[in-house]
């Protein structure tokens, strides 16, 4: 919950509540609407027509109606119109909110115990602290209760409600440079604007990068339940960058805001910041201008580092879209260049760290990563995440980085609590919800994990790059019906996405829909996924169809694959009922150096942590009581066999 503070006044816009000097203020809906509209634009004259458009939704009402509601508001706030301290009348024009507004902090008194993380930077000495953020957890429980009321697998909220006014579909900017040389710049700039806007908690930001656009921008926005569409173009030539951007209302195609920027390449960083700030302002974000400007900063003033970051964004998206793992490695190399160019660039440090975190904890590395030792991966991750923590000036973002370090150091509960607090403050960060679902699976907090999976469902409707992960995180938290429902939604939105197909195939088999799974085998086999992933799909299908001869042949081929991941080999052995082989594949990780990677296997429902002594001891030390394994119903051999 976001509480806005303005002197003695506090307001919760979502629940339409206000307090003055810690005491509740009784307001009619229209009087509260006026207060909400004014507090969103402190220091600015809000015209009468704007207030009528916002509060009375454009209906024809007289100035007298507005004056009556304003009189009620002033009376409730004890504000004298002749000598105002809160709301000033600007005669003939409108009204101005006089107080400084702060957002993102916890209310003291009326909302004690319902915490949120402050955006203020924290003391560097506190980075190693493992505090549990108990206050923030209280609000998180409220969010959890709301999410759980919705049946698992039901359509995401955004598809069931009216189009949010503060919503924008970000459509990939066109590259007008005349060659493919700068295509990455347009794609990377689009992604950076999108991720920057997503930090703003009251905006619904929707990515369309994974969609084929053959219709107008307003039509794209309407199809994604967005009230606005952001479009633009990029041209680079002769040392200059020209960017045009336009915000269009989806309902009628009216241009709400537009601008063009013609800068020297050395000045390109400011373009992204200005566009993000202008869009957030046009959509009337509740954040005050100072906070908003700080939030949209790129984190570097180095053009070379910034370009490397944009190139990394573009390449990473290509990996999600095609399934070709080589794009991820190239993206990592771009992030490495960005952080080497500017050692104070926290976002670059984090994205480089994330690469090694996924090598260690997602247990599906590309083949070439198999040659790196567990110790090397750990050291490379810690070096980069510590750099991200040390250079991050945003106190909220820093918590996500610290949570990742806690998880890597097997401090599972600390990681879990920090992530719960983080997503409360930054609810539009899909990657953080993936992280939270992961820690929920590790600590067997399946209620929180299912809430995280449901939230990721909603965010994946805004950003199709997370459609496949939304399917798999339901499996992590043993929500098989939810995984099936999300798999079907994902396939309807991105039927050609390699990872969507891969994870949907497994979801179908867990749900017993063998025929639906069979239809995906051919397209997956013809795609760009690694050979061991394609063979694992064939093995699952053969086992589900009880074609044991085909299963044995496929398993032998998988076992002989030179660059197969440990996870694929283990999953194959489990399916074939080769328990000793499966355990021996992981036994070498049951050491102080390998526990981090071994713990990642707890995301699989079929993993039995009790078979590994050091891992089980770690869970006992953390006070974690692990749930027992669930064997895949499609396996060739069940335990009883």
Q: What is the pLDDT of residue 163?
A: 59
Which DSSP symbol is given to 89? E
Q: How far apart are CA 147 and CA 624, in angstroms?
A: 24
Name the phi and psi angles at 105, rounded to 5.
-110, 165
Q: What is the pLDDT of residue 585?
A: 92
User: Do residues 345 and 299 make contact, with C-beta atoms less than 8 angstroms apart?
Assistant: yes
Q: What is the pLDDT of residue 350?
A: 95
Strand partners, 240: 237, 264
Segments in 463-497 forming alpha helices (H)? 467-476, 480-493
Give the helix/strand (H/E) hosting 110: none
User: Do residues 191 and 318 make contact, with C-beta atoms less than 8 angstroms apart?
Assistant: no
pLDDT over 70 (residue 343): yes
Residue 54 CA neighbour count, 13 Å, CB half: 21
User: Do residues 251 and 221 make contact, with C-beta atoms less than 8 angstroms apart?
Assistant: no
Please give the average per-residue pLDDT across 567-593, as a whole number: 93
Which pTM was predicted? 0.67
Q: What percent of the chain has pLDDT over 70?
A: 84
pLDDT over 70 (residue 162): no
Evaluated on CA atoms 331, 336, 339, 340, the torsion sign reads negative
Q: What is the pLDDT of residue 402?
A: 96
C-alpha pair distances (Å), 73 with each of 41, 77, 637: 17, 6, 70
Q: How far apart are CA 355 and CA 338, in angstroms?
A: 14
User: Do residues 349 and 339 make contact, with C-beta atoms less than 8 angstroms apart?
Assistant: yes
* Mean pLDDT of all residues belonging to the chain: 82
For the residues of 195-255, what is the DSSP string, one character each?
Answer: HHHHTSTT-EEEE-TTS---S-HHHHHHHTT-SEEEEEEEEEETTEEEEEEEEEETTT--E
Strand partners, 247: 230, 257
Instruction: Provide the 3-class DSSP secondary structure of residue 607.
Output: coil
pLDDT over 60 (residue 172): yes
Instruction: Provide the 3-class DSSP secondary structure of residue 385.
Output: helix
- Strand pairing of 167-170 and 174-175? unpaired
For the residues of 2-50, what is the DSSP string, one character each?
Answer: PEEEETTEEEETTTTEEEETTEE----HHHHHHHHHHHTSTTSEEEHHH
Q: What is the pLDDT of residue 119?
A: 39
Confidence of residue 369 (pLDDT cuts 50, 70, 90): very low
Name the phi and psi angles at 499, rounded to 5.
-75, -35
Nearest CA to 582 out of 549, 558, 562 is that of 558
Confidence of residue 134 (pLDDT cuts 50, 70, 90): very low
Q: What is the pLDDT of residue 326?
A: 83
Instruction: Provide the 3-class DSSP secondary structure of residue 94.
Output: strand
Count the neighbouring beta carbons within 10 Å of the beta carbon of residue 324: 18
Nearest CA to 367 out of 568, 111, 636 is that of 568
Q: What is the pLDDT of residue 308?
A: 92
Please give the average per-residue pLDDT across 526-531, as a whole number: 86
Q: Can you read off the two tokens belonging to residue 43?
A: 């220091």
pLDDT in tens, 11-64: 887 777 888 888 888 887 788 888 988 988 888 888 888 888 788 775 655 666
- More reliable by pLDDT, 580 or 176: 580
Instruction: Provide the 3-class DSSP secondary structure of residue 260.
Output: strand
Confidence of residue 605 (pLDDT cuts 50, 70, 90): very high
User: Do residues 412 and 441 make contact, with C-beta atoms less than 8 angstroms apart?
Assistant: no
Q: How far apart are CA 600 and CA 391, in angstroms?
A: 28
Q: What percent of the chain has pLDDT over 90?
A: 35
Confidence of residue 210 (pLDDT cuts 50, 70, 90): low
pLDDT in tens, 486-495: 999 999 888 8
Please give the average per-residue pLDDT across 337-353, as a whole number: 95
Nearest CA to 86 out of 11, 25, 6, 2 is that of 6
Please give the average per-residue pLDDT across 319-326, as a whole number: 77
Q: What is the pLDDT of residue 123?
A: 38
Nearest CA to 535 out of 576, 507, 494, 500 is that of 576
Residue 196 CA neighbour count, 13 Å, CB half: 26
Count the neighbouring beta carbons within 10 Å of the beta carbon of residue 92: 7
pLDDT in tens, 95-131: 898 988 887 544 344 443 333 334 333 333 333 443 3
Q: How far apart are CA 631 and CA 635, in angstroms?
A: 8
Please give the average per-residue pLDDT across 258-273, as a whole number: 85
Segments in 526-608 forming alpha helices (H)? 531-544, 548-559, 566-575, 579-587, 595-599
Which DSSP symbol is given to 546? T
- More reliable by pLDDT, 593 or 302: 302
**CA-CA-CA-CA dihedral for 626, 403, 329, 345, to nearest 10:** 180
User: Do residues 46 and 95 make contact, with C-beta atoms less than 8 angstroms apart?
Assistant: yes
**CA-CA-CA-CA dihedral for 209, 213, 217, 218, to nearest 10:** -110
Confidence of residue 272 (pLDDT cuts 50, 70, 90): confident
Helices 446-462, 412-425: crossing angle, 10 deg rounding: 40
pLDDT in tens, 414-448: 999 999 999 988 888 999 999 999 999 999 999 99
Strand partners, 432: none
C-alpha pair distances (Å), 513 with each of 195, 474, 531, 572: 36, 17, 24, 20
Nearest CA to 232 out of 266, 271, 206 is that of 271
Please give the average per-residue pLDDT across 541-560, as a whole number: 95
User: Do residues 623 and 414 make contact, with C-beta atoms less than 8 angstroms apart?
Assistant: no
User: Do residues 426 and 432 make contact, with C-beta atoms less than 8 angstroms apart?
Assistant: yes
Please give the average per-residue pLDDT across 374-400, as a whole number: 91
């Amino acid at each position: 919950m976001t509480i806005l503070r303005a002197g003695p006044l506090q307001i919760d816009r979502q629940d339409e509540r206000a307090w003055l000097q810690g005491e509740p203020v009784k307001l009619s809906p229209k009087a509260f609407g006026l207060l909400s509209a004014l507090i969103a634009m402190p220091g600015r004259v809000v015209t009468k027509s704007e207030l009528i458009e916002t509060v009375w939704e454009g209906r024809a009402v007289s100035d007298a109606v507005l004056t009556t509601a304003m009189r009620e508001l002033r009376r409730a706030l004890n504000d004298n119109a002749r000598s105002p301290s809160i709301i000033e009348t600007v005669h003939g024009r409108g009204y101005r909110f006089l107080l400084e507004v702060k957002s993102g902090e916890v209310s003291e008194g009326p909302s004690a115990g319902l915490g949120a993380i402050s955006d203020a930077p924290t003391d560097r000495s506190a980075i190693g602290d493992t505090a549990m953020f108990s206050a923030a957890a209280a609000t998180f429980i409220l969010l959890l209760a709301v999410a759980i009321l919705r049946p698992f697998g039901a359509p995401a909220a955004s598809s069931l409600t009216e189009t949010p006014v503060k919503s924008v579909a970000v459509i990939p900017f066109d590259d007008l440079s005349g060659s493919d040389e700068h295509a990455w710049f347009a794609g990377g700039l689009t992604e950076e604007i999108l991720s920057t806007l997503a930090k703003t908690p009251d905006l619904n930001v929707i990515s369309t990068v994974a969609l084929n656009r053959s219709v107008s921008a307003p039509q794209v926005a309407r199809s994604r339940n967005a009230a606005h569409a952001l479009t633009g173009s990029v041209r680079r030539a002769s040392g200059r960058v020209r960017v045009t951007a336009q915000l269009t209302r989806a309902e009628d195609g009216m241009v709400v805001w537009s601008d063009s920027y013609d800068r020297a390449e050395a000045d390109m960083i400011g373009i992204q910041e200005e566009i993000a700030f202008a869009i957030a302002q046009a959509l009337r974000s509740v954040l005050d201008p100072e906070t908003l400007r700080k939030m949209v900063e790129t984190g570097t003033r180095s053009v070379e580092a910034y370009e490397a970051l944009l190139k990394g964004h573009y390449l990473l998206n290509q990996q999600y879209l095609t399934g070709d793992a080589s794009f991820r490695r190239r993206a990592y190399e771009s992030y490495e260049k960005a952080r080497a160019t500017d050692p104070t660039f926290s976002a670059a440090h984090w994205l480089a760290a994330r690469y090694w975190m996924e090598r260690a904890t997602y247990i599906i590395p590309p083949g070439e990563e198999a040659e790196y030792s567990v110790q090397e991966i750990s050291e490379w991750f810690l070096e980069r995440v510590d750099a991200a923590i040390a250079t991050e000036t945003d106190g909220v973002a820093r918590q996500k980085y610290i949570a990742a370090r806690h998880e890597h150091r097997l401090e599972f509960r600390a990681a879990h609590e920090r992530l719960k607090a983080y997503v409360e403050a930054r609810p539009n960060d899909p990657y953080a919800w993936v992280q939270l679902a992961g820690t929920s699976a590790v600590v067997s907090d399946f209620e929180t994990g299912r809430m995280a999976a449901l939230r990721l469902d909603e965010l994946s409707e805004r950003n199709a790059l997370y459609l496949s992960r939304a399917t798999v995180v339901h499996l992590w938290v043993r929500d098989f019906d939810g995984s099936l429902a999300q798999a079907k939604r994902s396939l309807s939105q991105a039927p050609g996405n390699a990872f969507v197909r891969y994870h949907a195939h497994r979801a179908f088999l867990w749900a017993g829909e063998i025929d639906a799974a069979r239809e995906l085998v051919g397209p997956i086999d013809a795609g760009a996924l690694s050979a061991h992933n394609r063979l694992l799909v064939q093995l699952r299908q053969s086992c589900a169809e009880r074609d044991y001869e085909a299963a044995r042949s496929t398993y032998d081929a998988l076992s002989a694959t030179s660059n197969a991941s440990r996870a694929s080999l283990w999953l194959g052995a489990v399916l074939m009922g080769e328990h000793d082989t499966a355990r021996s594949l992981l036994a070498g990780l049951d050491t102080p150096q390998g526990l981090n990677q071994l713990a990642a296997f707890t995301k699989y429902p079929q993993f039995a942590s009790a078979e590994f002594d050091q891992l089980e001891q770690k869970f006992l030390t953390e006070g974690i009581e692990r749930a027992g394994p669930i064997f895949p119903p499609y396996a060739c051999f069940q335990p009883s066999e």
